[in-house]
Structure 1
Amino acid sequence: MPPLALIASALIALIVGYLSTLWVINQAKKSGFVGKDINKINKPEVPLMGGIGIIAGFIAGSFSLLITDTRSERVIPAVILSSLLIAFLGLLDDIFNIRQAIRAFLPLFASVPLIVYSVGHSVISIPFIGPINFGIFYYVIIIPFALTITSNAFNMLEGLNGLGAGMGIIMLSALAYIGLTHKGATYQAGLIALIAVFSLLGFLLLNKYPAKVFPGNIGTYFIGALIGAIGIAGYMYTALAVLYIPYVIEFILKARTRFKGISFGKVDDEGKLYWDEKPHSLTHVIMKLGRFKEYQIVMILWLIEALFAVLAVYLQITTIII
């Protein structure tokens, strides 16, 4: 793909994502879609559903990519459709607070576009083992559950300014690097991952500490689904598994609370966060090491994810099968 065309698509994703998020901020304030930022002393009200801006930026960048690179005409629609279906789930959750059972299993149906796209490819290369052909189980079990896990797990580790968007940028950057250094479907998935990185960057400019907007469930579900869909479409399962290790730990911590635990902290008089109970989240694990400002905790978690991203790239580059 011509470098200038890719740069143009990435910039479109960045600009549209940023401007769309600004629009969401104004509209959310007018409509009363706000939530309290409880990690601050004064508990300010912050507009919700900023994930709409992420989606707008990603779609704009992806469509411009389709215009200049028709080879992506199967990969992009599959990723967009599956991600949007799960984003719709997040929107319903933001508005109606739907039941956990629905949140957990609706992604199974959202995997259909990815299943159709993947027909004819059922082989996964596993590190230290080699390629394994899973046959029909690849379509009816592996793809649906991979998308379900990636979308639901990503939603668990959230609650601090910029945390989810930054984690998503790191994870998608790893997938973009892997994809752009390979060929075929993996390369096409890498292109989409790069577009997603810039869309998230446009949002992060407004979501970073102190946040002017929250992603909402529509944002966290969409980011998680997008990471999963890109990894599935590009056959980067090893990378997905490694990138989600922090989220596996988060799942275990949340499971101890029967998924009623929170990721927020308690705020002292200096505006630093602490936690004096059993940890419900990785954020609490860091808080128990010392009292930090909110943005410092976020940066520590970003660093941890970056280390796993390096490991994911290292392990994945030798196992891709096209």
Structure 2
Amino acid sequence: MMLPGAPFLIAFALVLALGPRLIAFLKAKKGVQPISENAPEKHKLKHGTPTMGGLLILSATGLATLGWLVWERFQATESGSGLLTTSGRSHLVATLLVFLCGGMIGVLDDLGKARKKQNKAGLSERAKLGLQAGVAFSFALYLYFIKLDTMVLGVPLGPLYYVLAALCVIGFGNAVNFTDGLDGLASGTTLIASSALAYCAYAISGVTPEQAVFYGALAGACAGFLCFNAYPARVFMGDTGSLALGMGLSAAAIISQQEVLLFIIGAVYIVEIASMMIQRYVFKYRRIKHGLEYAQQNRVFRRAPLHHHFEELGWHEVQVVVRFWMVALVMALVGILFFGGVR
């Protein structure tokens, strides 16, 4: 695990070094996270916590990945051979671009919320999805030009694969965004997921070392960020962090041909976005069928996404987060066993 280990430590150290300075800067600029109307009442106590802490994850992951890439290229020039092929380097850069573009979309959204001090004052849902789609389909076009294998579990998907790949990037971007609702939930879950994917990419398969570098840097950045984001959070990652995490993680998994593995290891994200969709569309159906009052009194979950449902049942925020981490850890182990079996 030396390969992902170095970028992990670099990203971790960068977040720890830059964290206090960024938090102080965000507080001074009043970059405060408006509390969502969908959050439980007690979350209003978090008002005043700075947001856009995802900038730490973006900068640390980017610098650690690019730093390792420059070092590897120098070593390759000196010795005549490197750990990565030319295509491997381009794949790593493509993944990093998706990750950074996702973060920039989040920055635009978070800036709008912070400036107008309203949770719905950022990018509109349509604008946010449009920008995500632009990034995701550009990535899918790259996959088409490099002629990535379009077979999944023995089923040849052909051109449909590239459409599904783009939808996966969009879907996971929003899934991690919905997961980011409690202190340490998204950062801890992503630390587990990216570590497991790094192990599968390098220690088990050994055929996609470039993505193990990205996973390692991402895991290190999340571990460092968790030092500031664990309950009670000193800073929130905002959409700046959550969109980057989801889109970057899915892009890395797709280009590594770990699509099925991502759905196993990322089960927490999937359940979170599924709970949000179920709540929304069942409510709409019941409102049309039975009226607004009936729909409001007969929701599927007490509150969505799912982590808020458990809060409404009386679980403390820390209990919810730790139990979700445990589910993520179990699914990571299931994914590793599955991947080891199919290899």
Runs of at least 5 residues in structure 2 that lack an aligned partner in the other structure: 36-40, 74-83, 113-121, 284-300
Runs of at least 5 residues in structure 1 that lack an aligned partner in the other structure: 262-276
Q: Which deviations, in whole Å up to 9, do the C-alpha atoms of 1:135-192 show, x marking residues without a partner? A: 22223x0221111111111111222111110011111111111011245653321222
**Matched residue SS, 2:208:** helix
Letter in 1 for 2:51: L
Answering whether residue 320 of structure 2 is matched by residue 297 of structure 1, we say yes
| Rounded Cα–Cα distance in structure 2 between residues aligned with 1:155 and 1:46 | 18
TM-superposed deviation, 1:104: 2.2
Answering whether residue 241 of structure 2 is matched by residue 241 of structure 1, we say no
Aligned to 2:128: 103
| Rounded Cα–Cα distance in structure 1 between residues aligned with 2:275 and 2:238 | 22
TM-superposed deviation, 1:42: 4.5
When Rg is computed on C-alpha atoms for both structures, the one with the higher figure is: 2
**CA pair 114-82 structure 1, distance change in 2 beyond 3 A:** farther
Letter in 1 for 2:330: L
TM-superposed deviation, 1:114: 5.4
Letter in 2 for 1:317: G
The alignment-based identity, stated in percent, is 23
**CA pair 115-39 structure 1, distance change in 2 beyond 3 A:** farther
| Rounded Cα–Cα distance in structure 1 between residues aligned with 2:5 and 2:199 | 15
Answering whether residue 83 of structure 2 is matched by residue 80 of structure 1, we say no
CA contact (8 A) 2:311 2:317 kept: no
Letter in 2 for 1:25: I
TM-score with structure 1 setting the length:
0.83
RMSD: 2.7
CA contact (8 A) 1:207 1:214 kept: yes
TM-superposed deviation, 1:233: 1.7
Q: Which deviations, in whole Å up to 9, do the C-alpha atoms of 1:4-62 show, x marking residues without a partner? A: x7544322211112223322211111111113676468445211100000011101110
Give the number of equivalent residue pairs. Answer: 299
**1:1-322 residue pairs with structure 2 within 5 A?**
3=2, 7-35=5-33, 39=42, 42-70=45-73, 71=84, 72-96=88-112, 97-111=122-136, 112-113=138-139, 115-117=141-143, 119-126=146-153, 130=154, 132-139=155-162, 141-183=163-205, 186-258=208-280, 278-287=302-311, 291-319=314-342
CA contact (8 A) 1:35 1:45 kept: yes
| Rounded Cα–Cα distance in structure 1 between residues aligned with 2:230 and 2:128 | 27
Greater per-residue helix proportion: 2
TM-superposed deviation, 1:78: 0.6
**CA pair 157-42 structure 1, distance change in 2 beyond 3 A:** closer
| Rounded Cα–Cα distance in structure 2 between residues aligned with 1:31 and 1:41 | 20
**CA pair 39-150 structure 1, distance change in 2 beyond 3 A:** same
Greater per-residue strand proportion: 1
Letter in 2 for 1:14: F
Aligned to 1:264: none
| Rounded Cα–Cα distance in structure 2 between residues aligned with 1:313 and 1:105 | 34
TM-superposed deviation, 1:248: 3.0
